[in-house]
Amino acid sequence: MTTDEFRDDLTALLPRLWRYAMVKCRNPDKANDLVQATCERALSRSHQFQAGTRLDAWTITIMQSIWKNDLRRDSIRRGAGFVDAEDAGLVDTDESAEGKIFLSQVLQAVDKLPEAQKDAVYLVYVQGLSYEEAAATLDIPAGTLTSRLVRGRSKIAEMINDPSERERSIERT
Which residue type does 87 have? D
Q: Is the pLDDT of residue 97 over 50?
A: yes
Euclidean distance between the first and final Cα of the chain, in Å? 45
Q: Are 138 and 146 in contact (CB under 8 A)?
A: no
Q: What is the reported pLDDT for 6? A: 92
Q: Quickly state the pLDDT bin for 8 (edges 50, 70, 90).
A: very high
Q: What is the pLDDT of residues 12-69, one digit of tens each?
A: 999 999 999 998 888 899 999 999 999 999 999 999 998 888 999 999 999 988 988 7
Q: Are 17 and 60 in contact (CB under 8 A)?
A: yes
Task: Supply the pLDDT for residue 163.
Answer: 57
**Residue-level pLDDT at 74:** 57
pLDDT of amino acid 169:
42
Domains of the chain: 1-83 (1.10.1740.10), 95-173 (1.10.10.10)
Mean pLDDT, residues 143-153: 92
pTM: 0.54
pLDDT of residue 173: 40
Which pLDDT band, with edges at 50, 70 and 90, does 164 fall under?
low
Tell me what the mean pLDDT of segment 92-96 comes to.
Answer: 58
Distances, alpha carbon 3 to alpha carbons 6, 39, 52, 106, 112, in Å: 5, 13, 16, 39, 40
Which residues contact residue 114 at a Cβ distance below 8 angstroms, ignoring those fewer than 6 apart? none
Give the model's pLDDT for residue 102. Answer: 75
